[in-house]
Amino acid sequence: MLLLKKAFLISAVCASLLYAEEKVEIVAKHVEHDEGVVTATGEAVGVGEGYFIRADKLIYHKEKSMIEGFGNIFMMKDSSLFITSDYVKFYLDEKSGYFDKFFFEESKDGVWVSSKEATAKNKIYSVDSAVSSSCNPSDPDWYLKYSSGEYDSQSKVMSLKNTTLYINDVPLLYTPYFSFSTDKTRRSGLLKPDIGVKGNEGFIYMQPIFYTPTSDSSWDTELTPQVRTRRGYGVSDTLRFMDSKYSRGYIKGGYFKDTDEFQNRYNLKYGSHYGLTLFYDRENLFASKQKNDEEDGLYLNLNYLNDIDYINLQARDNLRENNIDKITSSKLNYYFQKKNDYFGAYLKYYIDTSKTSNDDTVQEYPKFQYHRSTETLFGDDLLYSFDMTSKRFERRAGLNAFQNQAFLPISYTMRFFDDLLGVSVGEHLYANKVSFSNSVGSNLNDYSFYSNTHKLKLFTNLQKTYDNFIHSLNIELLYSKPGTKQEIGLPTQKDELISLVTSSAESENSAIKLVQFFYDSKGSLALTHRLNQTVYHDASRVDYKYGDLENELIFKINKNSTLSTDIFYSHKDGIISAATSSIAYNDGNTAASLSHVYKDKNTTLGKDRGSYLALYASQKLDYKYTAFGSYEYDELLRETRAWSIGMNMKKQCMSYSVSLKHEVTPILTSAESSSIKNYIIYFSINLAPLGGLNQTYSLSSRR
């Protein structure tokens, strides 16, 4: 036995040393050499540059620089491509070969190819009458069957001819040519399309086309043409870019043209819908925190659209769900900060898509702010900060205003009885100056308000440990009393803008704030309770002497369940003015939540009321199937706002989702804003790594 082991070791080592200068090294139990031909049998292994091959028998032809493998062949290329076969002939110099009973798999994405035979040339594998998938080869959920194909192992692209897609052995789709990538590297090509049918818009097809110069390019673009057979056609484009490692941005625009018939049927204000977005976010624009202890940033989000249908039509996700805010805002923010000094410049512009004209919409531009963060004076207990803002409120039709404010709080804190009791006294100095313009019919004088307010705060922080829990209690008693006050030119007319710029004056008031936390024996937060109440001693500038009482409770019932409520009680009206409540459960398999939002408030514009109920639930049926549903109800209108039911399936090689939804899509008519009710059947499928498609069928009716 010892002699056999020595003989094997000697033959293996000799073969390895003999052909070390060649393109292959061979190791086996038995190795024979005859005039430039090496025959290895018994667990034969060949190793070369970038590949590994194992077979029952290997034959290496030195003059031809060719390897033949017989029986139970396993081959690995570049640590990512695995091949099995019954027979292989591979020419090392020409980098070409032939395989009989061929099977290969790409390790990163799990895509495999199976065919009776195959050829290889310069990292390109060609097959005939083959099958491919990324699912379990013994019983794939989906597979492609094609007459011929090529796989480029360098670019990771498969190109197939006469291809039929099978799902569970059922043929669903045929195409004469099909190409896809097997990795996730950014590359140009077609993305997953959206296909649907809406009762009032006909057949819908949206096809994103993605382009990037290189896989690591700093920019790319996504062009999405679309057609709606009973409505019209359009296109949108998104250009994404990064001009530095600190920034990101995109430019997005779109256009859609309605047919005259569709515009007249719904009395739409516009027959063309278009818009443009410019987004840019960057840190370290001019400043350098590392060199000068400075930092700055620019945030730009500019939006323009002519009506809300631009959002409905351009957002691909809105084929499936609509969460559309009727107010579209544009923002431009810049800040610069060095140590405790902060400077900001802001601009806000609003478009109310529910209006036929935005001439009376109040805009905020520009706004400048300087802020000095809290610092100490003459010791650690005397603190101050400073804030100054200047902003303009502008609109074409209606009153405009230019406001300047300054705020200087100073406080001194003392602690007694080993920090059991804290006392803070302070002075808040405040100034507000407003100039009005465009006051048609009445000339308004400038408004000014100057005041100093005395502040007193008593506070305590208590904590006690019990056998099964820990209780932490924080109590604050606050008192504010205006000192010297001067107010000149307070307008008497009613206007939303006047209330906005002159509502800064503070009345004499007291407030109590209570916050308590309960922790279990393991230190996890189990219960949070907050209570806030304000009492106005001078009710001349407020509606009632008692502010709304707020009571918030968050209770973690167990590790999977949470109950929360936040209730506001109006002493003036003797009612609950607002409340939000929710209970949620999630154990990883089952998730459910029930929430309720309620409001009942008197405002300067009238009564603001609402009561909404929302329910959501999902259940994992097994490791791959999940059922879900949602329901929203308007209690005041006594009608359903939206509902959905559906199911998801997710596996490594494929996923799909099927759902039925009811929702409301807003539109703008020539007279007013309106909406369309949609009943939608949505289906989405994704086959990894091929991609997939989204399909929607919708029945619509005018609300």
| 524-553: average pLDDT | 90
* % of residues, the chain, pLDDT over 70: 90
| 513-540: average pLDDT | 91
The reply to whether 10 falls in a domain is yes
Smallest Cα–Cα separation from 19: which of 43, 38, 42? Answer: 38
Supply the DSSP string of 163-225, one letter for each residue. EEEEETTEEEEEEEEEEEESS-----EE---EEEEETTTEEEEE--EEE-SSTT-SEEEEEEE
Distances in Å between the Cα of 365 and the Cα atoms of 337, 391, 431, 497 are 21, 6, 20, 14
Out of 164-168, 232-236, 605-609, least confident range: 605-609
pLDDT tens column, 291-345: 678 899 999 999 999 888 888 787 554 444 444 567 889 999 999 999 899 999 9
User: According to the model, what pLDDT value does residue 19 have?
Assistant: 41
User: According to the model, what pLDDT value does residue 675 have?
Assistant: 66
The reply to whether 61 falls in a domain is yes
Out of 253-267, 443-457, 679-693, least confident range: 679-693
pLDDT tens column, 144-177: 999 999 998 888 888 999 999 998 899 988 889 9
Cα–Cα dist 235/225, whole Å: 4
**Which residues, other chains included, contact 298 with Cβ-Cβ below 8 Å and sequence gap of 6+?**
280, 281, 282, 285, 333, 334
User: According to the model, what pLDDT value does residue 393 have?
Assistant: 93
The reply to whether 53 falls in a domain is yes
Out of 416-425, 503-512, 612-621, least confident range: 503-512
User: According to the model, what pLDDT value does residue 109 have?
Assistant: 74
Cα–Cα dist 288/610, whole Å: 49
User: According to the model, what pLDDT value does residue 21 have?
Assistant: 42
Spell out where 66-140 has E strands: 66-77, 81-91, 96-106, 112-121, 124-133
pLDDT tens column, 665-682: 666 666 555 666 777 888
The reply to whether 289 falls in a domain is no
User: According to the model, what pLDDT value does residue 543 have?
Assistant: 77
The reply to whether 189 falls in a domain is no
Mean residue pLDDT of the chain comes to 86
pLDDT score of 4 more than 70: no
Is residue 15 within 8 Å of residue 27, measured between CB atoms? yes
The total of other beta-carbon atoms located within 10 Å of residue 155's CB is: 14
User: According to the model, what pLDDT value does residue 605 have?
Assistant: 45
The reply to whether 30 falls in a domain is yes
User: According to the model, what pLDDT value does residue 290 have?
Assistant: 67
What is the domain extent for residue 16?
2-94
* % of residues, the chain, pLDDT over 90: 51
User: According to the model, what pLDDT value does residue 325 have?
Assistant: 63
Q: Give the total residue count for the chain.
A: 703
The reply to whether 50 falls in a domain is yes
Total domain count, the chain: 1
User: According to the model, what pLDDT value does residue 401 have?
Assistant: 93
Task: For residue 40, give the CATH number of its domain.
Answer: 2.60.450.10
pTM (2 decimals)?
0.70
The reply to whether 44 falls in a domain is yes
